[in-house]
Structure 1
Amino acid sequence: MKNHIQFLLVSLLLLLSACEDPFDLTPTDIISGSIVFEDEGLANAFLADLYERALFHYNTGQSNFEMNLINAFGGESRNFAPWQSPFGRVLDTDFNENGAGVLDHWPYNTIREANVFIEGLPQSASLDQEYITTRVSEARFIRAWEYFQMVIRYGGVPIVTRALPAGASEEELFVARNSEQEVYDFIGAELDEIIGVLPEQTEAGRVNRWVALALKSRAMLYAASVAKFGTPQLNGLLGIPSGQAESYYRQSLDASKEIMDNGPFTLYRKDPNPVQNFINLFLDEDDNPEKIFVEMYDFESGKGHNWDNTGTPAGFGFSWNSNYPVYLETLELFDFIDGTSGKVDRSIYDDATPIDPKQYFGQRDPRMRASIFYPGAPFKGGTFYSHRSTDYTDPATGQVERTTAPGFIIPGSDGWPGSGHPRHRGGNPTGLLTRKMINPATPDGTPSSTDVTIFRYGEILLNYVEAAFYLGDPNGDMLAVINNLRDRAGMPELSADQLTQDRIRQERRVELAFESQTFWDLRRWRIAVEELHMVQRHRMHFRYNYDSGTYTVEIADGDLGRIRLHPEENYYYALGLNRIADNPMLAENPGY
């Protein structure tokens, strides 16, 4: 079915491309009226193109950079080595008056095409009304999604809901910014309308009622956070009055509650082992009960991505190494299964104190072991090693020796190497790598066909708990909801007095680690300056003592002197000098 759908979409796009410039401003009205919107296949192709244009996640051909982009900006992991451009584009980026740089997203061309579709399809004289209503609702969702992507970057932006003609006047073309609140209200109103008409079931990768509710759950939570933690600026173009926070939290909570009470979704629990279960959650595409919306991939049908190629550790069949080293600070978010904090006293990282990996790694939150490659992690029938050396007693001499040779096997061991692969243990690696969504079944050197999850039920539960917390737990169930997530993870239940703001945020960062969420969460909570601006992150250097079965650890600057920046003004990125010059009605954001 997956191959069939992908083939159909590609075929329809090819069919549409055979028409004479259907997206050009001049002939659009003629073609849409006489051909495109009278033919279901062409209309589907038009809509498929909108799906392809939408920024559901970063992947436009430079997967070693883009698929991990938001995780790297959020300080969860790094984009490979300090001397390579993907690393510098995250760590050294100084967002200035020229715009949002690699995070720039100003999709008014996509919005215009969505408006063409939304206006044109209902004019069809031959297509079925139910078909028209559903497809228009999908286009409205994509338009709302793109406005959401802009509002979380820039605050208020111009809301354009009609396709401007080629001969539009300057007054029509030069549109002023709407306020941030107006943009969020527009998104909410659009979603409310389409939620009532979208079907509950569609093919995978297509928007349905539950997907629209999921976006409302997320977007209204963002709006509530801006109102609660932000400050209105620029005569109201930025920020939302604090008195509106409760309303947005309520909208988010209600959308989440509708999915929880009436949707067909549950937490993924197919494997009794919580580590393997959490690994499989992101790879299982066979009736996965947790996935609400995915971007579909199938390399054989012409659409793949390189997450596996660029994220698999060296020595496991791929030619290079993972581009996604993980920081100590991310590891520390994962508590131990007895409930104690995952952030241990850093004085033990003195390259002398023995650390038992069975406790330090093996007794952490199972989600850590499913999300991060750590020393001793099993993978593809082998073991991930990142230690720099091994101390051992030579059975022939009785002397304690130290080896740094990865090809040397410790005498009497079951294959223990003297050190990890050179690409895992040098001065640059952090000692940890991202594991989440790495598919061991992807053939060496082949683009991945694993779907990328955009919305899943676990996020909806977290959205619900966060909104409920600030509303005073109106349904009296937020503790049960968060403990449902923790039970799936193999973690102990929280008590009512443990359910604090910090705990809820930590649970979110753990559950959604490496899912391109943390960066935006830190920004909407208005703690990105505290967490990211000129804040050093650390790598880990491991040495192994074979006789005792313990490591000693030393930590160092994880970014090798490079500086991460997120000053206060970056909560709203600049629109940019070029856009301001092109449209004199646009007011620039403060600080640029």
Structure 2
Amino acid sequence: MTEIGEDQLWKDPALVQAFVNSRYNQVGHGWTESMQSSIVDETELTWLRGCEVHNFARVNPSDLGRMNGGWYGWDNRSWSTKWNNIANCNIFFERIDEVPFTDEDLKTRLKGEVRFLRVFEYNDLITRWGGVPLITESFTIDDLDKIKQQVRASYKDCVDFMVSELDQAVKELPASYSGDDYGRATSVAAKALKSRILLYAASDLMNVNVQMPEVGYTTPDPQRWEKAATAAEEALTEALNNGYGLLRTSSTATEDLSANYQNIFLDNTSANTEVIFARMGTASNLGEGLSSLEQWNFPNGWNGWGGNCPLQELVDDYEIVKNGVASRFNWNNPEEAASPYENRDPRFYASILYDGASWKERTLETYFDVDASGNEIGGGRDTKYGVDNWNTSPTGYNLKKFLDEDYVGNSYNFKAKNWIWIRMAELYLNKAEALYHIGDEEGARDAVNEVRNRAGMPDITSTGSQLLEDIKHERRIELVFEEHRYFDVRRWMEADKYLGRTMHAITVKKYPDGHKTYEVSALRSDVGGDRIWDDKMYWLPIMKSERDKNPNLVQNPYYTD
């Protein structure tokens, strides 16, 4: 292989485009072996692997668990990887104007793409650690003293920088692409990322009892929710005017509505109008497959590892729909308790595999055979009595969302898939939450009902504090497993309520006459049942290794090195 020298790179527009493409390949994704869903009230990872650091509140400057990278299974999310990509973006801006482009529009577009990606990477750091040094120049080994003088910028300065950069990127980027350019950053993506940044910036974590300027605003500003609402509206308008929209089916049948929702995450083509920005992947044999997702998460009865398994808390949050009326599931209702998986939100059937769910050539068998007295005597193919006993679900459920049903266990032959970072439903939910906080309850209901109606769910009609709870609930259901929950419950300052509680599993018993019973029990404490929350974890600590190199990186509240 012939290496390309730096001077050669910055004299060739084609090589510069390849350099920009590499910046996309450094963007992370969420399909690690230990998914982020397993440190919140969505799933339990069968083998822990970094999740227990969070679930048992052991986070410290020397051990960030799976939140500083994906533990097992690369994800390009570590502190060092982020900074490496930011550094390359900075080099791009220092050298781009010396490149002999004959197509000035292309040069401008590439600036917009890298500008967006640099903000994207910065935001991935800031949402986890708070304010970080705002570095827009490249450093060499000769700049060691200068590097050691870097200090964390305030949260305010970081938000202002990111918003300003995205506003500039909007001017430089097209609204959409065609052909081989599909997947590049767009003006729609820039506006959508701005919407997310300003929604977070208006939230309680960054505005209530802020301990230091690096992790929030130390002065109040009632206009922050106004800015978030405006940003969401502008992003939605830009998207809708340029062909983006919620992916919809014409059918109202539950199975079709479920398949429509599931297809959002399986369709990696430009026909998927839902996707605003994604980390693109190829089939595994082409070298840019993102993950062994199916192998890690397929039920053991299909030779999978049964990795990230949905919790009963999540299952119970999917609504029941009867005669056009939605209500929360209730175990104290004998009819619902006897058939807990009937008449659920269509998104339930697209997201979670439960006992009796149709999957591949049969139905999932997580039931245990019992005798007439209820004593366990065996079990279905997806229990410890099935193919393997080391990878059976600890919760009684398996992941379905994202998974390719055609995958053959142990083949490691994966189809191409894209991890969706930003999609249309989020924009509607951002708008709903922001409008609620500025007093526009009607507008908030309209926005959230757009998402519910696409899923075949009845409108919400609530007001006041219940409306806010319904909006939060809709985010939980619509965006499940997509790496929103960790950030949402933190910014709402409700992590103790949701993450510091005992999590539960289901035990399905099948009696000799064929009838089944469903028993909810606490998840084994040694695998994360009795979860613990510590308020220090509202922010990750700056790693001890980084503070050893640069003591000017002030530590986050409540941590000691």
TM-score interval, normalised by the smaller of the two chains = 0.7 to 0.9
1:281 and 2:264 correspond:
yes
1:436 and 2:421 correspond:
no
Deviates more, 1:564-573 or 1:180-189: 564-573
Matches within 5 A, 1:176-191: 176-191=151-166
Counterpart of 1:468?
435
Q: Is the 8 A contact 1:210 1:292 kept in 2?
A: yes
Distance (Å, rounded) in 1 between the aligned partners of 2:472 and 2:33: 28
Counterpart of 2:345?
365
Matches within 5 A, 1:132-531: 132-168=107-143, 170-171=145-146, 173-202=148-177, 203-226=181-204, 230-234=208-212, 236-240=213-217, 241-243=219-221, 245-270=224-249, 272=251, 273-286=256-269, 287-298=271-282, 299-304=284-289, 305-316=291-302, 319-338=303-322, 339-345=325-331, 355-357=337-339, 360-389=340-369, 404-406=377-379, 421=386, 429-444=394-409, 445-448=411-414, 449-473=416-440, 476-497=442-463, 500-531=467-498
Q: Which amino acid aligns with 1:342?
A: R
Structure 1 113/309 Cα, relative in aligned 2: closer, same or farther at 3 Å?
A: same
Q: Is the 8 A contact 1:295 1:454 kept in 2?
A: yes
Q: Is the 8 A contact 1:256 1:463 kept in 2?
A: no
Structure 1 268/390 Cα, relative in aligned 2: closer, same or farther at 3 Å?
A: farther
Q: Which amino acid aligns with 2:407?
A: T
Tell me by how many angstroms 1:237 deviates: 2.2
Residue from 531, 539, 559 that aligns with 2:505: 539
Counterpart of 2:66?
102
Q: Is the 8 A contact 2:56 2:533 kept in 1?
A: no
Q: Percent identity, please.
A: 25
Distance (Å, rounded) in 1 between the aligned partners of 2:436 and 2:426: 15
Tell me by how many angstroms 1:114 deviates: 0.6
Deviates more, 1:95-104 or 1:129-138: 95-104
Q: Is the 8 A contact 1:204 1:293 kept in 2?
A: no
Deviates more, 1:165-174 or 1:44-53: 165-174
Q: Is the 8 A contact 1:388 1:425 kept in 2?
A: no
Deviation track 1:254-301 (CA, whole Å, cap 9, x = no partner) reads 343334542311211236221222222211234112112222222232
Tell me by how many angstroms 1:344 deviates: 1.6
Matches within 5 A, 1:108-123: 108-123=83-98
Distance (Å, rounded) in 1 between the aligned partners of 2:393 and 2:103: 60
> Secondary structure at the residue paired with 2:508?
strand
Deviation track 1:398-431 (CA, whole Å, cap 9, x = no partner) reads xx998744479xxxxxxxx999747689996211
Structure 1 372/420 Cα, relative in aligned 2: closer, same or farther at 3 Å?
A: farther
Tell me by how many angstroms 1:578 deviates: 2.3
Structure 1 507/128 Cα, relative in aligned 2: closer, same or farther at 3 Å?
A: same
Structure 1 144/334 Cα, relative in aligned 2: closer, same or farther at 3 Å?
A: same
Tell me by how many angstroms 1:518 deviates: 0.7
Counterpart of 1:397?
none
Instruction: Return 5+ residue gaps in structure 2 as ranges.
Output: 69-77
Structure 1 434/108 Cα, relative in aligned 2: closer, same or farther at 3 Å?
A: same
Deviates more, 1:185-194 or 1:579-588: 579-588
1:35 and 2:8 correspond:
yes
Deviates more, 1:464-473 or 1:238-247: 238-247
Which of the two has higher C-alpha Rg?
1
TM-align CA RMSD: 3.0
> Secondary structure at the residue paired with 1:376?
coil
Instruction: Return 5+ residue gaps in structure 1 as ranges.
Output: 1-16, 23-30, 393-399, 409-416
Structure 1 425/401 Cα, relative in aligned 2: closer, same or farther at 3 Å?
A: farther
How many residue pairs align between the two structures? 530
Tell me by how many angstroms 1:484 deviates: 2.0
Deviates more, 1:123-132 or 1:71-80: 123-132
Q: Which amino acid aligns with 2:350?
A: A
Q: So what's the TM-score if we normalise by structure 2?
A: 0.86
Deviates more, 1:300-309 or 1:90-99: 90-99
Counterpart of 1:564?
531
Distance (Å, rounded) in 1 between the aligned partners of 2:39 and 2:374: 42
Structure 1 518/546 Cα, relative in aligned 2: closer, same or farther at 3 Å?
A: farther
